[in-house]
Amino acid sequence: MLPESLKQARALLENVTPLKTDCGLTCGGACCRPMEGEMTGMLLFPGEEAYYEGREGYRMTVTDHGTLLFCSGRCERADRPLSCRLMPLLPILREDGMRVATDLRAKAVCPLARQGKDALDPAFVAAVRQAGRILAEDEVQKAFLIRLARQQDELKALRNQFRRGSHV
């Protein structure tokens, strides 16, 4: 059974998408296709594993960052994990509150992530922000959001380091 905060966050993002049209038409559904020769999956939020346990077509593995879900690349919309529903955004929890940012991990596969959140449907951005606020009320989910924000900071620092190094 999913934690209540996770149920609410998933429900908020059930029918809203990054664009008012099917964003998968823009990139051929790149976010749903496994990368050739790589084990790519979506990071599950705490407690979300229970939804996929024993379900055909899904496989999970535990990593240092959390549980990754692997699928065939085709699923019912209602079965999408929260990470898929948030893509290409990420709710970022800071001491000064909740904000929404482009998930730096998404930039490798999603053309919308490269354009930034201003290119996305404002209703989608607002739903991601609200989902983050709901998750932040649950201590377990809040800790996970803080961890995701730290990972985002690390990726940003690494990206900036390489940008500076390329100009030398």
pLDDT digits 0-9 by tens, 109-127: 878 888 888 889 999 999 9
For 42-96, the pLDDT digits (tens) are 899 999 999 999 998 899 999 888 999 988 777 788 899 999 999 999 999 988 9
Report d(CA 125, CA 134) in Å as an integer. Answer: 14
pLDDT score of 36: 67
* Phi and psi, residue 53, nearest 5°: -55, 125
pLDDT score of 41: 82
pLDDT score of 163: 80
Q: How many Cβ atoms sit within 10 Å of the Cβ of residue 167?
A: 5
Domain span holding position 127: 4-166
Would the pLDDT of 168 be above 50? no
Say which amino acid occupies 143: A
Average pLDDT, the chain: 88
pLDDT score of 7: 96
Number of domains in the chain: 1
Would the pLDDT of 38 be above 70? no
pLDDT score of 167: 53
**pTM across the whole model:** 0.88
C-alpha separations of 160 from 72, 86, 149, 154, 167 in Å? 34, 24, 16, 10, 11
pLDDT band at 108 (very low <50, low <70, confident <90, very high): confident
Q: Which residue, among 124, 105, 29, has the nearest Cα to 74 in the 3D structure?
A: 29
Q: Which residues make beta-bridge pairs with 66?
A: 63
Report d(CA 70, CA 58) in Å as an integer. Answer: 6
pLDDT score of 166: 58
Contact 18, 106 (CB under 8 A): no
